[in-house]
Amino acid sequence: MWKDIWFLVTRTLRATFRKRSTIILYFGLPIAGILASLLLYGSQGTTELRVGVVNGDEGQTIAADTVRFVQGLDHVKVVNVTQQELHDQLAASDLDSGLIIDSGYSESVRSGSPDHIAIQSVKGAQVTAYMKSMLYGYIDNVAAMGRISGGNDAKFQQLYDRYRSADFKVTSESVNDTSTTKEMSYQSIGFLLMFMMTSAVSLSELILKNRENRTYFRVLSSPINARTYVLANILMNLIVMLAQIVIVLFFMRVVFRIDPGMPVAQMFGILLLFSLVSVSVSLVIVAFSKSTAMAGALSNLVVTPTCLLSGCFFPISIMPDAIRRVSDFLPQNWVLQSIEKLQSGAGFAGVWFNLSILLAFAVVFFLIATYKFGRNNDTRNFV
């Protein structure tokens, strides 16, 4: 039996990958998925925030010190502009944000109730959040001195001068930001899951193609039975997907030097388990199809939408809660959840439930395919 299975596997692999275009289709597209992830996340990095400052409270020490504080922030470039220039440059995207200090700002801070200051941006909170949090913390400190002084200018000035000349040492250490590389690897795996499922369906469709061109019936006229034929197709599927996993992990780790944020062996194990799910899903599609055209239509209805809902193309965190609940019924989501947990520092034992769910998916789909194959007793339909 195993000799017959291996004969069918080698024969089908040679026939399938005889063309160079097929090799590119099965192994080039997953690599293209890595390149797409590099394009999506590779340009992300630390950028300089361009801030235009309108100081309408000139001649005041507190206002001048506030501007100097903003100038001292990391990755912030300050440009002094007028109100009209700020409006024009924000509209033209020459500036990312604007800080407007109106007359009376220094006095309001001195009294303990900061006012007459505003931050403007046409790019939203993602641009202003960093500067706003740092600046408002600084202003709150100065305003607290105003409240403590209770309107006593001499006492406030004493506290403020002491604050400005405070002798303290700040030690900073740089750490590597691994979030971008984790996002790259996460997205690369998302694309790989889609290509694994499409490859599995395509290879399982060979059963239907061989039935349509009568090759299947010629094979059955030999000592090879239907069960051996299907097992050979399953084994061939697993071999191809194993090669896809190895190639993608090699290119990700060695060629493109993307750190997945987790041991490669663990990622390999999860993807290998998902390959069983992919094969089982492809067999269900083939079992319920009477032709390759029908199998292709079912594949389009199953693979792409489920990958979309599972977060294979973009982070699932941006989706509504209703769609997230739907994704809990999709195997791709459990793979991506497992990878996300392992990237966050969880041990392999912490994803045993996810792996159990994946194994359950594979078992259920294999049982459905087996039942459907068993019901197709008419050779005009299938086995």
pLDDT cut 70: percent of the chain above it? 88
User: How far, in Å, CA of 121 to CA of 108, rounded?
Assistant: 24
pLDDT above 90: residue 270: yes
What is the average pLDDT score of the chain?
84
Give the residue from 64, 149, 72 showing the smallest Cα distance to 112. Answer: 149
Name 175's Cβ contacts closer than 8 Å, sequence gap at least 6.
none
User: How far, in Å, CA of 244 to CA of 197, rounded?
Assistant: 11
pLDDT above 50: residue 13: yes
Which pLDDT score, from 0 to 100, does residue 90 have? Answer: 86
Local structure of residue 119 (DSSP, 8 states): E
Specify whether the CB–CB gap between 128 and 98 falls below 8 A: no
Mean pLDDT of 205-234: 73
φ/ψ region of 321 (left if φ > 0, alpha if ψ in -120 to 50, else beta) reads alpha
User: How far, in Å, CA of 223 to CA of 226, rounded?
Assistant: 10
Mean pLDDT of 371-375: 79
pLDDT grade for 157, boundaries at 50, 70 and 90: confident
Extended strands (E) in the chain: 49-55, 76-80, 97-101, 117-120
pLDDT above 70: residue 259: yes
pLDDT top residue among 3 and 202: 202
Q: Residue for token digits 């896809």?
A: 244
φ/ψ region of 100 (left if φ > 0, alpha if ψ in -120 to 50, else beta) reads beta
Extended strands (E) in 123-265: none
What predicted TM-score, i.e. pTM, was given to this entire model? 0.67
| Cβ atoms within 10 Å, residue 25 | 15
User: How far, in Å, CA of 115 to CA of 108, rounded?
Assistant: 6
Which pLDDT score, from 0 to 100, does residue 383 have? Answer: 42
pLDDT grade for 33, boundaries at 50, 70 and 90: confident
Q: Residue for token digits 């060695």?
A: 254
User: How far, in Å, CA of 176 to CA of 171, rounded?
Assistant: 17
pLDDT above 70: residue 200: yes
Distances in Å between the Cα of 28 and the Cα atoms of 25, 158, 159 are: 6, 70, 67
pLDDT grade for 196, boundaries at 50, 70 and 90: very high
Mean pLDDT of 87-101: 87
Tokens of 289: 């199809």
pLDDT grade for 217, boundaries at 50, 70 and 90: low
Helix 226-250, helix 264-287: angle, nearest 10: 140
User: How far, in Å, CA of 205 to CA of 231, rounded?
Assistant: 14
Tokens of 238: 């697993």
φ/ψ region of 257 (left if φ > 0, alpha if ψ in -120 to 50, else beta) reads left
User: How far, in Å, CA of 112 to CA of 204, rounded?
Assistant: 73
- Domain parsing of the chain, residue ranges: 2-42+178-375, 49-164
Query: What's the angle, vertex CA 158, arms to CA 113 and CA 167, rounded to 5?
Result: 105
Which pLDDT score, from 0 to 100, does residue 284 have? Answer: 93
**Whether domain 49-164 has CATH 3.40.1710.10:** yes
- In this structure, the chain runs to a length of 383
Give the residue from 269, 293, 102 showing the smallest Cα distance to 201. Answer: 293
